[in-house]
A and B are shown apart, each in its own frame.
Chain A
Amino acid sequence: MRHIISILIENESGALSRVAGLFSARGYNIESLTVAPTEDPSLSRMTILTSGSDEVLEQITKQLNKLVDVVKVVDLSEAAHVERELMLIKVRATGKDREEMKRMADIFRGRIVDVTESTFVIELTGASGKLDSFIAALDAGLILETVRTGVCGIGRGDRILKV
């Protein structure tokens, strides 16, 4: 099962390696990981996309909570939440492909943020599945480079992760 774990952690040097080290040492998998300070700069918020059985997820949450720097942990995917990922994708855009690329970007509500004679950089935000579909919809030969932030997410409504 796919899970999105959100972590509030003291914004200390080494915090990231404590979390990453825990996952590798215990053989948990990380599909993506994003981290940045919160509105309170003494705290960082980390989002980890992982997968595993319920037992594994229970262990992951418990082990994360055991880290001395970790303030709070929630499994966002346990209840209603919003998740987003951002992708920048550089494509070849020459001749008639230029128009086609523009059209595809529009369909997926992407934005062209950089233009040269032969390339576009398209910015696309959404759930990971949407980014995957966009890639699938393009002619693979035209994709020059992609970069994705990994998933970040937030609970809906009253579900608030704060100290």
Chain B
Amino acid sequence: MISGAEIVIRCLQEEKVECVFGYPGGSVLHIYDALFKQEEVKHILVRHEQAAVHAADAYSRSSQKVGVALVTSGPGVTNTVTGIATAYMDSIPMVVITGQVPTQYIGQDAFQECDTVGITRPCVKHNFLVKDVKDLAVTLKKAFHIAATGRPGPVVVDVPKDITAQMCEFEYPKTIQMRSYNPVVKGHLGQIKKAVQMLQEAKRPIIYTGGGVILSDAAEKLTQLARRLNFPVTNTLMGLGGYPATDSQFVGMLGMHGTFEANNAMHYADVILAIGARFDDRVIGNPEHFGEEKRRVIHVDIDPSSISKRVKVDVPIVGNVADVLDEMLKLLDGGFTADPEVAGWWKQIDEWRGRDSLRYKQAEHIMPQFVIEKLYEVTGGEAFVTSDVGQHQMFAAQYYKFDKPRRWINSGGLGTMGVGLPYGMGVLLANPGAQVACVTGEGSIQMCIQEMSTCKQYELPVKIINLNNGMLGMVRQWQEMFYSKRYSQSYVTSLPDFVKLAEAYGHVGMRIEKPEDVEPALRKAFTEHKNDLVFMDFIIDPAANVFPMVAAGKGLTEMILAEDL
């Protein structure tokens, strides 16, 4: 017999978990003791529980493995909520183990008690409170199973302290059967056939793909399919890297800050093949405006509730993206002839491309777009890029051309400022030795800045690309455009000296103020300081805005372009 705490650790070992992100406290002391007595599972001590969850999230995003976080009850749990909600919105598989007060104290307002299952319920795929040590191993097995299968998501397992002390036989189930949970994998063949037929008839087709392609590890299959069809491809913010951005069939990201060609192609397409994407408000703009064009929609998604939620779908295909694409490819092998009018559609797209909607003017100041372009060059397009939330995030998404999946790590759904640095940590722990750039702003970086200390402890050489405009830039942009330049609370004063701050944490700091210094500084950071965390404080043009832009309530084709201003 072993203790509940040892069972927790044994389960992690059985799941081949190499790395857990966490922070100790009273209710998890037994678990931390069990952790101490073994070496297989490594523990990363963060400086704030929010960062533990973000790091576990990025660990998963960049590797396909399930991320794991371990925190104590009460404040440990409440600190994780932002991280859990962030992972939930982007469907990231993750298991969060939370300590709880001993069973007999639950409901008594005990010290560091909170209703973990209640607080996290709306932002988890599922959660459990373990009430008997005999259920502990099975519950953890279920948690990993649920997190990683179907539409993935975070699962919380709340473990009262007394249960971690109780002794029990350990047996880890090899497989798990749940009568209430059986996600579909294979798509319906009849529907897939219909879809292929519809693709043959398409005159103005577009392939629109999202995070589902990444989560399903289907990027290669998507590329095969798109090449086979020779149709244009657009990615959502979450889908970047699902199709090589440098490929000629790629028309760029679509949506609020999408390219002119992507948004127009999406709007005027007569057949949309949507794969692992959900037509959200940032993607299609005003739904009434979007609905004005007549078109047919094929929608492949593992989650039936994503289909026909915001846009009516003609051919729904519920299934795992990779499996469905396999079937489609097989059918295409049987012969496929695209409609001859598709050639004209490509001409139209090339005309839209001619607007060169990502063009920007160089100025005396460093332009943020320029920094990202140089970052792309210096890293050979091979870096993992994590980002925070704001203008810098959009610049990174628009100007770093992701050719591979799982390289672009950002909070798309919840839009959580503060994820960038902990995301960088998670990526490096899952991909040791990789080049990792965290593109951030002086606002966002300060939301999890304490993690510079964690980076020191574990030697995590994230390159922090701080696009410092002294502004909550994205807020300022909206105020400039829609609130007659009343800049209410969007100006950040009393910024720390980031160079000194980085040095105080034991890292390298650089301040870059001139355009001509951008590239050399980046080169230095990625070569000479390969193994250091480098905080690169780029003082950029504070007036730079993100274009194209589809304003709130506007239609996809009603973009504001930089040239209009």
A in complex with B = yes
Interfacial residues, chain A to chain B (CB-CB below 8 A): 9-10, 13-14, 17-18, 21, 25, 55, 58-59, 62-63, 65-66, 68-71, 163
B305 contacts A68, C-beta separation under 8 Å: no
Q: Which residues of A contact B151 (CB under 8 A)?
A: 66
* Distance in angstroms between the alpha carbons of A65 and B183 in the assembled complex: 10
B308 contacts A68, C-beta separation under 8 Å: no
Interfacial residues, chain B to chain A (CB-CB below 8 A): 117-118, 121-122, 125-126, 129, 146, 151, 178-181, 303-305, 308-309
Contact of A59 among B117, B121, B309 (CB under 8 A): B309
CB distance from B280 to the nearest CB of A (A): 15
B308 contacts A21, C-beta separation under 8 Å: no
A25 contacts B303, C-beta separation under 8 Å: no
Q: Which residues of A contact B179 (CB under 8 A)?
A: 71, 163
A18 contacts B121, C-beta separation under 8 Å: yes
Q: Which residues of B contact A163 (CB under 8 A)?
A: 179
A68 contacts B122, C-beta separation under 8 Å: no
CB distance from B85 to the nearest CB of A (A): 12
Q: Which 9 A-B pairs have the closest CB atoms?
A: A62-B305, A68-B126, A71-B180, A62-B304, A68-B181, A63-B305, A25-B122, A69-B180, A10-B180
Known A62-B304, A65-B304, A68-B146; contact A14-B117, beta-carbon cutoff 8 A: yes
B118, B126, B180, B181: residue with the most chain A Cβ atoms closer than 10 Å: B180
Q: List 30 contacting pairs A-B, 8 Å CB cutoff, sorted by A.
A: A10-B180, A13-B129, A14-B117, A14-B121, A14-B129, A17-B121, A18-B121, A21-B121, A21-B122, A25-B122, A55-B308, A59-B305, A59-B309, A62-B305, A63-B305, A65-B304, A65-B305, A66-B151, A66-B303, A66-B304, A66-B305, A68-B125, A68-B126, A68-B180, A68-B181, A69-B126, A70-B180, A71-B179, A71-B180, A163-B179
Q: Which residues of A contact B181 (CB under 8 A)?
A: 68
Number of A-B contacts (CB under 8 A): 37
Q: Which residues of A contact B125 (CB under 8 A)?
A: 68
CB distance from A34 to the nearest CB of B (A): 20
Instruction: Kindly report which residue of chain B lies nearest to residue A9, judged by CB atoms.
Output: B180
CB distance from A50 to the nearest CB of B (A): 16
CB distance from A12 to the nearest CB of B (A): 9
* Distance in angstroms between the alpha carbons of A9 and B303 in the assembled complex: 19
* Distance in angstroms between the alpha carbons of A62 and B150 in the assembled complex: 14
Add 20 more A-B contacts to A68-B125, A68-B178 (CB < 8 A).
Answer: A10-B180, A13-B129, A14-B117, A17-B118, A18-B121, A21-B121, A21-B122, A25-B122, A55-B308, A59-B309, A62-B305, A65-B304, A66-B303, A66-B305, A68-B180, A69-B126, A69-B180, A70-B180, A71-B180, A163-B179
Q: Which residues of A contact B305 (CB under 8 A)?
A: 59, 62-63, 65-66
* Distance in angstroms between the alpha carbons of A59 and B151 in the assembled complex: 16
Q: Which residues of B contact A58 (CB under 8 A)?
A: 308
Instruction: Kindly report which residue of chain A lies nearest to residue B124, judged by CB atoms.
Output: A68
Q: Which residues of B contact A65 (CB under 8 A)?
A: 304-305
* Distance in angstroms between the alpha carbons of A21 and B303 in the assembled complex: 20
Q: Which residues of B contact A62 (CB under 8 A)?
A: 304-305
Q: Which residues of A contact B303 (CB under 8 A)?
A: 66
* Distance in angstroms between the alpha carbons of A86 and B483 in the assembled complex: 56
Instruction: Kindly report which residue of chain B lies nearest to residue A63, judged by CB atoms.
Output: B305
* Distance in angstroms between the alpha carbons of A163 and B177 in the assembled complex: 14
CB distance from A163 to the nearest CB of B (A): 6
CB distance from B270 to the nearest CB of A (A): 23
* Distance in angstroms between the alpha carbons of A106 and B262 in the assembled complex: 71
Q: Which residues of B contact A59 (CB under 8 A)?
A: 305, 309
B151, B305, B308: residue with the most chain A Cβ atoms closer than 10 Å: B305
* Distance in angstroms between the alpha carbons of A42 and B308 in the assembled complex: 33
A18, A70, A163: residue with the most chain B Cβ atoms closer than 10 Å: A18
CB distance from A65 to the nearest CB of B (A): 7
Q: Which residues of B contact A9 (CB under 8 A)?
A: 180
Instruction: Kindly report which residue of chain A lies nearest to residue B151, judged by CB atoms.
Output: A66
* Distance in angstroms between the alpha carbons of A62 and B302 in the assembled complex: 12
CB distance from A68 to the nearest CB of B (A): 4
* Distance in angstroms between the alpha carbons of A145 and B146 in the assembled complex: 46
Instruction: Kindly report which residue of chain A lies nearest to residue B305, judged by CB atoms.
Output: A62
Q: Which residues of B contact A63 (CB under 8 A)?
A: 305
Instruction: Kindly report which residue of chain A lies nearest to residue B304, judged by CB atoms.
Output: A62
CB distance from A37 to the nearest CB of B (A): 15
CB distance from B79 to the nearest CB of A (A): 22
Q: Which residues of A contact B126 (CB under 8 A)?
A: 68-69
CB distance from A93 to the nearest CB of B (A): 43
* Distance in angstroms between the alpha carbons of A68 and B146 in the assembled complex: 8
CB distance from A10 to the nearest CB of B (A): 5
Q: Which residues of A contact B180 (CB under 8 A)?
A: 9-10, 68-71
CB distance from B541 to the nearest CB of A (A): 41
* Distance in angstroms between the alpha carbons of A61 and B126 in the assembled complex: 18
Q: Which residues of A contact B146 (CB under 8 A)?
A: 68
Q: Which residues of A contact B304 (CB under 8 A)?
A: 62, 65-66
Q: Which residues of A contact B121 (CB under 8 A)?
A: 14, 17-18, 21
Instruction: Kindly report which residue of chain A lies nearest to residue B118, judged by CB atoms.
Output: A17
* Distance in angstroms between the alpha carbons of A58 and B180 in the assembled complex: 19
Q: Which residues of B contact A66 (CB under 8 A)?
A: 151, 303-305
* Distance in angstroms between the alpha carbons of A17 and B117 in the assembled complex: 10
* Distance in angstroms between the alpha carbons of A156 and B335 in the assembled complex: 48
* Distance in angstroms between the alpha carbons of A17 and B179 in the assembled complex: 20
Instruction: Kindly report which residue of chain A lies nearest to residue B125, judged by CB atoms.
Output: A68
Q: Which residues of B contact A68 (CB under 8 A)?
A: 125-126, 146, 178, 180-181
* Distance in angstroms between the alpha carbons of A68 and B124 in the assembled complex: 11
Instruction: Kindly report which residue of chain A lies nearest to residue B155, judged by CB atoms.
Output: A68
Instruction: Kindly report which residue of chain B lies nearest to residue A60, judged by CB atoms.
Output: B305
* Distance in angstroms between the alpha carbons of A9 and B308 in the assembled complex: 25
* Distance in angstroms between the alpha carbons of A65 and B180 in the assembled complex: 9
* Distance in angstroms between the alpha carbons of A39 and B181 in the assembled complex: 21
* Distance in angstroms between the alpha carbons of A91 and B272 in the assembled complex: 62
Instruction: Kindly report which residue of chain A lies nearest to residue B307, judged by CB atoms.
Output: A62
Q: Which residues of A contact B122 (CB under 8 A)?
A: 21, 25
CB distance from A160 to the nearest CB of B (A): 16
Q: Which residues of A contact B129 (CB under 8 A)?
A: 13-14
* Distance in angstroms between the alpha carbons of A70 and B178 in the assembled complex: 11
Instruction: Kindly report which residue of chain B lies nearest to residue A10, judged by CB atoms.
Output: B180
Instruction: Kindly report which residue of chain A lies nearest to residue B180, judged by CB atoms.
Output: A71
